[in-house]
Amino acid sequence: MSHPKPVLGFAAFSGTGKTTLLKQLIPSLADRGIRVGVIKHAHHNFDIDKPDKDSYELRKAGARQLLVASGKRWALMTETDLDGDPQLESLIGRLDPDSIDLVLVEGFKHVPFTRIELHRPALGHPLLYPEDHNIIAVATDSPIDTGTLPLLDLNNVEAVSDFVLAWLNKQTDKTVA
């Protein structure tokens, strides 16, 4: 991944808790002064806009790109003709590196980049790390054998945050909170 900011992913089977963890991890990192950008993979057609809103109606009318802006935020929606998933590197390149310190990615488990695996043995899915050499740690809710990889408590967001910060410090050669 060629991006001016470190990129760290979270990979797991659906229903494992990637979004739940990120919703807790992002404020923990923000409290430590880390500005986080996030890219989330969606496996289906999705909308972030609501019917009967002007922006939705303008996009549905045929606008290929629609930028909605206020004094507090802006969002750019772009219609594509892609048959498959977008390229992660292209999506990362759309982020503003001056406004973030770290890019967290949810999903894209078939793209080679550094990530943490989330695993819940009770769900019955196989571990990803034995076949995926980009995984640097496994966060789980039960004791499991992860070989030489660090084992993180999936239910302890501060421990996961500490691991992410230690990893980030190694990537940036400077110490952050």
Residue 149 pLDDT: 96
What is the average pLDDT value for the chain, to the nearest integer?
Answer: 89
Give domain status of residue 23, yes or no: yes
Question: How do strand 102-106 and strand 36-40 relate by DSSP bridges?
Answer: parallel
Q: How far is CA 22 from CA 9, 133, 146, 156, 170, in A?
A: 10, 22, 22, 12, 21
Give domain status of residue 129, yes or no: yes
What is the residue range of 133's domain? 7-41+85-172
**Same-domain check for residues 53 and 124:** no
On the question of pLDDT at 120 being above 70, the answer is yes
Residue 74 pLDDT: 85
The predicted-structure confidence for 7-31, as pLDDT tens digits, reads as follows 999 999 999 999 999 999 999 999 9
**Higher pLDDT among residues 44 and 138, named by residue:** 138
**Same-domain check for residues 77 and 37:** no
What band does 153 get if pLDDT is binned at 50, 70 and 90?
Answer: very high
Picking from 23, 58, 83, the residue at the C-terminal end of a domain is 83
Number of separate domains in the chain: 2
**Same-domain check for residues 79 and 90:** no
**Same-domain check for residues 11 and 35:** yes
